[in-house]
Amino acid sequence: MNSKNPNLTFDPKLNKVVIFCAPSGSGKTTIVKHLLSIDSRIVFSVSACTRKKRANEEHGKDYYFLTHEEFKNRIANEAFLEYEEVYGGNFYGTLKSEVERIWALGKAVIFDVDVEGGLNIKKYFGDKALAVFVKPPSVEVLEQRLRYRSTETEETLRIRVNKAVQELQYEDKFEFVLLNESLEETLVVAENLINDFLNK
């Protein structure tokens, strides 16, 4: 997946991917944003999706916005590392070309994806991948955090909590389980994990 452009400065040591997975409300997005703000060796993987672009969003920065037809063509051409169809008929996925783009910059890739997608990416990259599962202290705490966001209806809250209960059963498939009880401590552990992995 390396770029063939000889003008690019390339660090093959950083041909790696870091995957953060967790049930919604576990704090993985906060952790990933923190790591991106302090470590210039990692770049966030932008996902592709078929939902409509919101007013404040930018193509290529927030998502790669594709039509359903474009997305399905790319599925047929095996352009995705992973993808899924979500509630409402929209597709979300990770393009292989996005990893190539970031590796060509001489950077490592960091993913913030759901559990199933993360396991697919881990399987694809093998030893080049570090897969981290962020675990809430309990399902009750997770529910409280989701309620605190005030973005959920009772129905969507139930769906998220039920999905979380299922996803928590996959934690033993990850190299590292990060218990997010105290965010401050969690961020320190996450920093050390990334550092050790990228310095290998």
Question: SS3 letters for 28-96?
Answer: HHHHHHHHHHHCCCEEECCCEECCCCCCCCCECCCEEECCHHHHHHHHHCCCEEEEEECCCCCEEEEEH
Any domain includes 122 = yes
Q: What is the pLDDT, as a whole number, of residue 4?
A: 36
Q: How many domains does the chain have?
A: 1
Sheet hosting strand 108-113, strand order edge to edge: 42-44, 108-113, 17-21, 129-135, 176-179
Any domain includes 7 = no
Any domain includes 89 = yes
Please count the helices (runs of H) and the strands (runs of E) in the chain: 7, 9
Q: What is the pLDDT, as a whole number, of residue 7?
A: 40
Any domain includes 187 = yes
Any domain includes 190 = yes
Structural domain span for residue 140: 13-199
Residue 3 tokens read as: 């770029």
CATH number of domain containing 137: 3.40.50.300
- The residues, ordered by sequence, that sit 6+ positions from 81 with a Cβ below 8 Å of its Cβ are 93, 94, 95, 96, 99, 120, 121, 124
Any domain includes 170 = yes
Q: What is the pLDDT, as a whole number, of residue 150?
A: 73
Q: What is the pLDDT, as a whole number, of residue 92?
A: 94
Q: What is the pLDDT, as a whole number, of residue 97?
A: 96
Any domain includes 3 = no
Entry pTM: 0.86
pLDDT tens by residue, the chain, 200 residues = 333 333 444 566 789 999 999 988 899 999 999 999 999 999 999 999 999 998 899 999 999 999 999 999 999 999 999 999 987 789 999 999 999 999 999 999 999 998 999 999 999 999 999 999 999 999 998 888 888 877 778 888 888 899 899 999 999 999 999 999 999 999 999 999 999 999 98
Any domain includes 180 = yes
Q: What is the pLDDT, as a whole number, of residue 153?
A: 84
Q: What is the pLDDT, as a whole number, of residue 11?
A: 64
